[in-house]
Structure 1
């Protein structure tokens, strides 16, 4: 924990963790030294604190000036980061404000007039506030792109680049994500100053927990029934991923009609609807929360026992991002894929490094069936409930 030695007394007193995560060990000293950083580390590996703690040291809360900007692709992630910063800045002069779509812009403008030290926001709302000259980028010396792969994708790339180039000329930029492709790295290099590339793999993560990767063979038409059955397992708390919104709506109608303790999360739900759904999930009134990648981006939910791939993801990056939601902070977890015959080839490619085990859904339970990894051999189909 050598990096803690040079930090403020407030940070030292609030540090209660037994272990330092590898990305924190690597990234914090480099950010404190003023370096630009491109950091890749698994979901749930402590990336937020790896940039928040240096920001608290690099900014001055006694100055009436907004000095740092954290850009995120989703409202939830913005809110989570703001909560983390508030926890660590309690009792200090450092202030933080969130600037997200779906919230009252006039209130945000009023808060900006007070010159918060750090602002956290989504690209659309930030662009509006900059255009209206309410957020003055010239003062900002530190910019973080959280979930950088999303922010530097074609959808947001130009807008984010414009924000960075409008910031102070001696700005520091950090890009963090669980997956950073060569393309994303190339884009980042265009507006960063000789960035240091950091990469932490899942194998380097300290973990006392065990993550099981498993699959249940099922017909496409039976996936909703399997989900409904899983939702009645005591103690299960799962985030289930579906590849597109149309399928999400169909599953929602059928599951709600059958009264299953399941809810869905859409990207176009307003802030209050999303918060109400998440509160019910955290309280255990809902056992399975179904979402697309877009709707679930940035969600950090403690105690998830399962991640369920209702559809096999399109890419390795999707599989990694989704799967990393369970088994956080050394807890056990399971990544379960509902696998139809047409999806088998894609699944073999995505999961080959994880040695997934086959399970069978039978009698209201997940039972380990053929424990061989998926390698093309024929296996017995899952038994249907009568």
Structure 2
């Protein structure tokens, strides 16, 4: 991949962004995408996968021709983030990108589609709704991108994807991307007989220095540990729970202590979720409480901490949560709260992911990597018994 191959507006945007060379995944997939190949792109979280597919596809776009590219994402948050990136790189082209996500006004989206945007980015449910209503001409889609594909081909989402594929042109190019797409390669080969697999996860060195720790505690004390973390001067982090109910309970208790936190949950409206992310990005909130909803795609620049209040339920979940830090060479810290019973579960995950795991301690308003020496209480002096004779 060479920026000299870019069309003029894209070359200017590359130079304005101050880029000198592409990330590994970007250089490896550029030519096959330009040549129309179907492929699976696998690279670590935060290694530049979004631009890996957007740059060659934008370079091939034709102005005035509607719905050439459709990017499907696993969440509304990821869709809006990809829209932001696409707008930045389309600057100066006169071409348009349109978000198509659930929770937003469908009539406004239908009106926007009349302006013939060249690039569409959305969630499967809303996209299928617009295809069924004939507001999107699926036959004009030249390339379909599946971002966080391992999430997209699970449960109800899989049925939506199959219907979208059935409605689109059989000759359309299909691109599948995720940090953990390797776990669904067998399923992907059912969609595509011939797929080029580009896996740079072992060679990619864009991951920054991320340290992984565990903090031993009890279930009852987990919220108290969070309260202490949020009072540390340098703390700013994403805080993950396995269950929405546990997250809600913790949020309520932390708000009682007037701590600067926001929650990001699947049962919130689009506006509430957007506001939560904005407040967190602007450091108006020091803690973003969420579930695995926010473990994929959400790019918070220079985020220093990820906290797992609950041990993730799988290696994939741990990998995506931890991937919120250490993006594009930055440093970061991942701390998992563990009860004595949960410690073995975390150790198994770390072993499978080949992570160095060390204990960490919260003591005296600081995070310590060595167990603090607790001062023993001074011994009470024994009272001397009166050895004199008792007077009668």
Regarding TM over 0.5, the answer is yes
Task: Give how far 1:381 is off.
Answer: 12
Superposition map of 1:54-69 within 5 A: 54-63=56-65, 65-69=66-70
What count of residue pairs does the alignment treat as equivalent? 370
Q: For the residues of structure 1 that align with 2:346 and 2:47, how far apart are their CA atoms?
A: 25
Of residues 14-23 and 46-55 in structure 1, the stretch that sits farther from structure 2 once superposed is: 14-23
Give yes or no for the alignment of 1:71 onto 2:75: no
Q: For the residues of structure 1 that align with 2:340 and 2:223, how far apart are their CA atoms?
A: 16
Q: For the residues of structure 1 that align with 2:349 and 2:110, how far apart are their CA atoms?
A: 45
Superposition map of 1:93-112 within 5 A: 93-112=94-113
Give yes or no for the alignment of 1:85 onto 2:92: no
Task: Give how far 1:18 is off.
Answer: 3.2
Q: Following superposition, which runs of at least 4 residues in structure 1 exceed 4 angstroms of deviation?
A: 380-383
**CA deviation digits over 1:235-283, x for unaligned, max 9?**
3211111001111111111111111122211112112111221121112
Aligned to 2:283: 284
**CA deviation digits over 1:25-67, x for unaligned, max 9?**
111111001110111111111000000011112221233x211
Secondary structure in 1 aligned to 2:271?
Answer: helix
Q: 1:121 to 1:382 in 2, by over 3 A?
A: farther
Asked if the contact 1:165–1:191 (Cα under 8 Å) also holds between the matched residues in 2, the reply is no
Q: 1:247 to 1:265 in 2, by over 3 A?
A: same
CA RMSD of the aligned region, Å? 1.8
**CA deviation digits over 1:160-187, x for unaligned, max 9?**
02212221221000000010244x2222
Asked if the contact 2:73–2:146 (Cα under 8 Å) also holds between the matched residues in 1, the reply is yes
Q: 1:164 to 1:58 in 2, by over 3 A?
A: farther
Aligned to 2:317: 318
Q: 1:316 to 1:296 in 2, by over 3 A?
A: closer
- TM-score, normalization: structure 2? 0.90
**Unaligned stretches of 5+ in structure 1?**
371-379
- TM-score, normalization: structure 1? 0.92
Q: For the residues of structure 2 that align with 1:44 and 1:8, how far apart are their CA atoms?
A: 26
Task: Give how far 1:136 is off.
Answer: 1.5
Task: Give how far 1:321 is off.
Answer: 0.5
Aligned to 1:215: 214
Aligned to 1:230: 229
**CA deviation digits over 1:346-366, x for unaligned, max 9?**
111111221112111111111
Aligned to 1:328: 327
Q: For the residues of structure 1 that align with 2:37 and 2:317, how far apart are their CA atoms?
A: 29
Secondary structure in 2 aligned to 1:212?
Answer: strand
**CA deviation digits over 1:107-155, x for unaligned, max 9?**
0000111211010000111121112111111111100000100001123
